[in-house]
Amino acid sequence: MSDLQLIESTVDRAAQRRRWQRAWRGLWRGLLAAALVWLAALGAYKALPLPVTVLPAAAVAAGIVVLLSVLFHAWRRDTRLATARWIDHRQALKERLSTALELGRDAASGPWHALLVQDAARQLGRFDLRTLLPYRLPRASRWALLVLALGATLGFVPEYRSKAFLQKERDKEVIRETGRQLADLTRRSLEHRKPALENTREAIKSVGELGTDMMKNPLTRAEALKDLAKITDKVQQDARELTKSPALKAMERAARSSSANSPADADELKKQIDALQQSLGNKDARADALDKLQRDLQKAQQAAANLMNKDAQGVDAAKDSLAKTLSSLAKQSQEMGAALPALEEAIAALEAGKIDQLMKDLQIAEKDLERMREMAQALQQLQQQAEKLGKDLAEQLKNGQVEAAQTTLDKMVKQLQAANLTPEQLQKIMNDVAKATEQAGPYGKVGDLLKQAVSQLGKSDKPGAAKSLAEASKELENLMQQMADAQDLKASLDALKRAQFCVGNGMGWCNSPGPPRGGKGGKPGKGVGTWADDNNWMDPPENELWDNSGVERPDTDPRGHTDRGDGNVPEGLVPTKVKGRMSPGGQMPSITLKGVSIKGQSTVSFQETATAAQSEAQSAQSHDQVPRAYQGAVKDYFDDVKK
Amino acid sequence: MSTEEQIAQFRESYAALRAEVGKVIVGHEAIVDGTLTALMAGGHVLLEGVPGLGKTLLVRTLGEVLDLSFSRIQFTPDLMPADIVGTNLVMETPEGRRVFEFQRGPVFAHLVLADEINRATPKTQSALLEAMQEHSVTAGGEMRRLEEPFFVLATQNPIDQEGTYPLPEAQLDRFFFKLLVGYPSADELTEVLNRTTETARAQVNRVLSRERMISLQQLVRQVPVASHVKDYAVRLVLATHPKTTTAAPIASQFLRFGSSPRGAQTLILAGKVRALAQGRFNVSFDDLRSAALPALRHRLILNFEAEAEGVTTDHIVEQILKDVPKDAEALEAQSA
């Protein structure tokens, strides 16, 4: 290797080493910068109400800073000449290396280039690259480690968050959760059934959109409540408009009084009754009689169990007594139509002295009897339902049994379309339809269509009558759809109220009690009378976990006598001059008002009047139009009215 | 003779010259080195100092040490240019005819001592302009070459002394170095007394012939200079140019004019001489820095502010040396 090559190789190695050194320094500098970024972010997170996402973002930024720093420092590659100059400077070589590298190959320099190179090569022995460029921790490393240690220490310091901020965060989470639930409920509702009316569809959709908005952009509690109230008012208005129809009121009443899974069709009901009666042996096996029979059988079982503890003489007497009892029970069961073969086998086992077998047979007999008792109860219930079900179209319309009425109408249409319709049957249809026209008044066009059908039947226009009846059936179908829409709106309204409860009280969806679910079909739950306090669930439960810290209630701030102002009392709470003592649970003060006496005959049934009054009372209570102290008494009063 | 041998000879000659001069001149190493550097580079030297500091003695000693013709011109206010360069005189030939004949002045020598040059009028001072730059003299419409090597070693008293005329900028620029002769130290003064107040007188020998001197001057010019070293010289000179983008802040503040290109030439040539004298084959930054003061101090023209504040050109050159990085690229690499 020539001197020049030696110089070049040494300088190249130095350049490479310097590059690595720069990268190493860059790493530590980057680490210092990253640690500072992390420390700043952590400090800010600890001191200020920043979201926790700040920390991962800062960590990512810190990583990028380290990477960029290493790349930035290692990116630049020194030229050979620059490195030689650097070595000249560091080793005070009087520019020997750089001059030799620059002019060592320059032929124009004549003999001088050889002299330059030799001189420079001699200087190479004066230094060692490892000494010149040692790998050691740069100064930045100390600072970086210090800052990292500070960051680690800061990690143990609990973050400062004001109560108001925590409350806001909780509110935000509650609003987000409520929004999600609202959106889910609405989506499921729409998936399950698409509302028939455009208004209903829009209203339900707007509820879903509000839920989505709340989920994506959780507002403040006040804003969320405002939005919820707005939508609630809209949905309530829609629901009110929808339920204004008297037909729907009747249908609602009917729906409330009937069970959810009761068959609408009388024939279907009859089939079920027949099937049950057949199972029971076509005898009038009443549930209470079977219950008595079961109790007797249990006594016999007890007596059979006592057989084992008696002496021989006592056993014979007890056996005789038990045999008589069992025979009597078998006879009774046969008379009731409830054949119990196990009982016969038990008698046989008793005669054979097989007490164990006797016990087993008696148990089987008891189980059979129990099953029969349950069937008898179900039969009884079905018979009760059948009694309630309208027997003809008029009764069905009167009772609001629209589905049954529709089925009846469809049957009539089929009969009219059939070729072999006898005049008697035609007359019966005409009579039924004519009778139903009176009851079809609240059902809108149905009444007119039925009248039209009667007229057509009178003219023996069977196709026309069938068409009119089919249209009436369709109209009823529409009414049913409206009813379903109203129920959907009611469900949305319940969801909105529940959302208001959740947001207003800062409770999660699952923690809120929701509207009362007392019985099947959403019937009111336990309470005085037939209706319960539907809004009671909206009051937050009072338990130890309830925490209203951070809730801002400027209206409850202490104020002096002079700065109270005129006050803003709701209309329903404007005090009236009532003599007496106001104390909840105590005697209710009353005044007697003389009203105008209207004489005549009421065209509205008492049941409807009572229901309407009940509804209005409930509405007044829910709108805080009844002072709280009087609410219990008002409720009791209207319960009594219903009775 | 190989280059290596020539270089060795240069060092020997330089050392011999220095030793011989040292026999007479006490102290003033920088002045002696500066003078020898200028001689080796083929430049003229202006020595400035108060009277009695040995300026003339130094030049006279050099005249004795070098095997060169030597002449001395004592500049006085009534000295005329013709007294320096020579003049045409009417001479009578043996045949009795009268003809004009050029009578050569004292400038026709290898080594010219212009003693107290600033005591002559600027007109007379300017008589040396052509000789110093072109190494020729024009008189009576005829140009006459001066024999090589030609050196002017001028001495001057500080310009604020009575009866002095400042040298014109054009003439100042022609001096390779301006060396400031200072007072001797106590030891040096004692030695001066010993040497000059006793009977013994130092004998100096001629150590360098004219031909050797010329060959050494040629050798100096062969020394290679790396581009970044040249770049440093350029940056130094450019930094003295006031109100330019390359100017050092102090130059813009206190200078009216900066150095001419002769300043950069001087730096490089002086650097080459110094490198050879130190046994190196290349010029370093330090070589340029060591030559900066004597090479640039007389080439910078101060402005009124500097005059008023008493700022000297030496102060400005020192500041420029601090401001201008030696090797910008290397320093940049180091900082990275």
Dist. CA B35–CA B28, nearest whole Å = 11
Please, what sign has the CA dihedral across residues B199, B204, B205, B209? negative
Which contacts of A389-394 are long-range, i.e. CB under 8 A and separated by 24 or more positions? A389/A266, A389/A269, A390/A266, A391/A266, A392/A432, A392/A435, A392/A436, A393/A432, A393/A433, A393/A435, A393/A436, A394/A432, A394/A435, A394/A436, A394/A438, A394/A439
Q: d(Cα A518, Cα A510) in Å, to the nearest integer?
A: 18
pLDDT tens digits along B199-241 = 777 788 888 888 888 999 999 998 989 988 999 999 999 999 9
Q: Is the pLDDT of residue B264 over 90?
A: yes
**Chain A contact for B161, CB < 8 A?**
no
- Window 213-242 of B: residues touching A by CB (8 A cutoff) are 222-229
What's the alpha-carbon Rg for chain A, to the nearest Å?
Answer: 46
Which of B223, B226, B281 is nearest residue A98 as measured by Cβ atoms? Answer: B226
Distance from CA of A115 to the nearest CA of B (A): 7
Residue B246 has pLDDT above 70, yes or no: yes
What's the rounded Cα separation, in Å, for the pair B207 and B211?
12
Q: Which two tokens stand for residue B116?
A: 């107290």
Nearest CB to B327; choose among A73, A85, A96: A85
Q: Is A112 on the interface with B (CB under 8 A)?
A: yes
φ/ψ of B155, rounded to 5, equals -120, 150
Tokens in use for A81? 């000449």
Residue A112 has its nearest CB partner, among B224, B227, B330, at: B224
User: CB A67: neighbour CB atoms within 10 A?
Assistant: 14
- The minimal CB distance from B330 to the residues A22, A86, A100 is found for A86
**The two structure tokens encoding residue A320:** 């005789």
Report the residue of chain A nearest B281, measured CA to CA.
A116
Is the omega angle on the peptide bond into residue B149 within 30 degrees of 0, that is, cis?
A: yes
**Three-state secondary-structure class, residue B208:** strand
So what's the pLDDT on residue A575? Answer: 57
Q: What is the mean pLDDT of chain B?
A: 87
| Residue pLDDT, tens place only, B21-70 | 888 888 888 888 999 999 999 999 998 888 778 877 888 888 888 888 88
CB distance A296 to A333 below 8 Å: no
pTM for this entry: 0.54
3-state SS class at A43: helix
What pLDDT does B273 receive? 93
Q: Is A29 on the interface with B (CB under 8 A)?
A: no
CA torsion B199-B200-B201-B202 (nearest 10°) is -170
Residues of A with CB below 8 A from B326's CB?
Answer: 89
Instruction: Determine the average pLDDT of the residues in B231-253.
Output: 91
A25 touches B: beta carbon within 8 Å? no
Q: Do B224 and A94 touch (CB under 8 A)?
A: no
Quick one: which of A288, A368, A290 has its CA closest to A335? A290
Q: Find, among A187, A232, A257, A141, the residue nearest to A524 by Cα.
A: A257
Is A373 touching B (CB cutoff 8 A)?
no
Q: What is the DSSP string of A28-39?
A: HHHHHHHHHHHH
Q: Residue B72 pairs with which residues in a beta bridge?
A: B113
Query: Do residue A112 and residue B2 have CB atoms under 8 angstroms apart?
Result: no
Mean pLDDT of B318-327: 87
Could you tell me the CA-to-CA distances from A390 to A265, A584, B120 in Å, in that order? Answer: 10, 45, 149
Complex-level ipTM: 0.82
In 3D space, the residue among A374, A401, A363, A398 whose CA is nearest the CA of residue A385 turns out to be A401
- pLDDT at position A469 is 86
Flag if B329 and A85 touch (Cβ within 8 Å).
yes
Rounded to 5 degrees, what are φ and ψ at A216? -80, -45
Q: What is the pLDDT of residue A522?
A: 44
Say if residues A186 and A207 touch (Cβ distance below 8 Å): yes
- Residue A102 touches chain B, beta carbons under 8 Å: yes
Give dist(CA B334, CA A85) in Å, integer: 10
Residue B271: which of B294, B287, B295 has the closest Cα? B287
Most A CBs within 10 Å, among B228, B274, B283, B335, to test the A interface = B228
Mutation site, B218, B274, B282, B331, interface A, largest A CB count within 10 A: B282
At A484, list the tokens: 């379903």
Stronger pLDDT, B135 or A418, i.e. the higher one: B135
Chain A CB contacts of B7 below 8 Å: 115
Q: pLDDT by residue (tens digit) across B144-153?
A: 898 888 999 8
pLDDT at A521: 44
Closest CA to A359 of A303, A280, A409, A430: A303
pLDDT tens digit sequence for A553-602? 766 766 666 665 666 666 666 555 555 545 555 555 566 665 666 667 77
**Positive/negative CA dihedral, A471, A474, A476, A481:** negative
Q: What is the pLDDT of residue A361?
A: 85
- DSSP 8-state code for residue B106: T
Residue A243 contacts B, CB cutoff 8 Å: no
Q: Indicate the pairing of strand B136-139 with strand B142-145.
A: antiparallel
DSSP secondary-structure letter at B127?
Answer: G
* pLDDT score for A518: 47
Q: Which residues in chain B are closer than 8 Å to A81, comparing Cβ atoms?
A: 228
Could you tell me which residues come within 8 angstroms of residue A156 by beta carbon, excluding any fewer than 6 positions away?
none
SS3 B179: strand
> Nearest CA of chain A to the CA of B277: how many Å?
14
**What residue ranges of chain A have pLDDT lower than 50?**
259-262, 518-527, 530, 581
